[in-house]
Amino acid sequence: MVSSDQLVQDFLKGKSEHTLMLYRHFLSEYAKIGEIHLHPTKTMIAIAGPHKNIAWITQLGKNFIHVVFPFKKAHTGNLCFQKIAQVPVGATQFNHHFRMLFLEDINREVISFMKLAYET
């Protein structure tokens, strides 16, 4: 059986130093909010807080990471999410898609949503 740590390492294998820097920074900023655990699957890395998954890293690109935050309502009127989608239609989950290209993308607005995902 493959360990959880090995599955995470498989996701990171061959990624650019820039992408790895973004990944580490994102997790470091989340760890300042509270204790987190990583749960890799075949297609993504789930980030879990104390009670549930609070975000998913769905893509580690050449120069970015793509993160999805689940919320019970759509949080429109912000600058950090490139897409907000209700999944599945009729459910009470709205996936908020955030693409991180630079360390500075983790700003006050993003941190407020990271905290919201952690606390709700």
* Structural domain range at position 85: 4-119
Q: What is the per-residue pLDDT for 3?
A: 63
Dist CA 109 CA 93 (whole Å): 20
Q: For tokens 């907000």, name the residue.
A: 84
Q: CB within 8 A of 113, min separation 6: which ones? A: 69, 75, 78, 80, 96, 98
The whole-model pTM stands at 0.92
Model pLDDT for residues 35-49, shown as the tens digit of each residue: 999 999 888 999 999
pLDDT in the model for residue 8 = 85
Predicted confidence (pLDDT) at residue 2 exceeds the cutoff of 60: no
Q: Supply the pLDDT for residue 10.
A: 84
pLDDT band for position 16 (50/70/90)? Answer: very high
In total, how many domains does the chain have? 1
- Residue pLDDT, tens place only, 70-81: 999 999 999 999
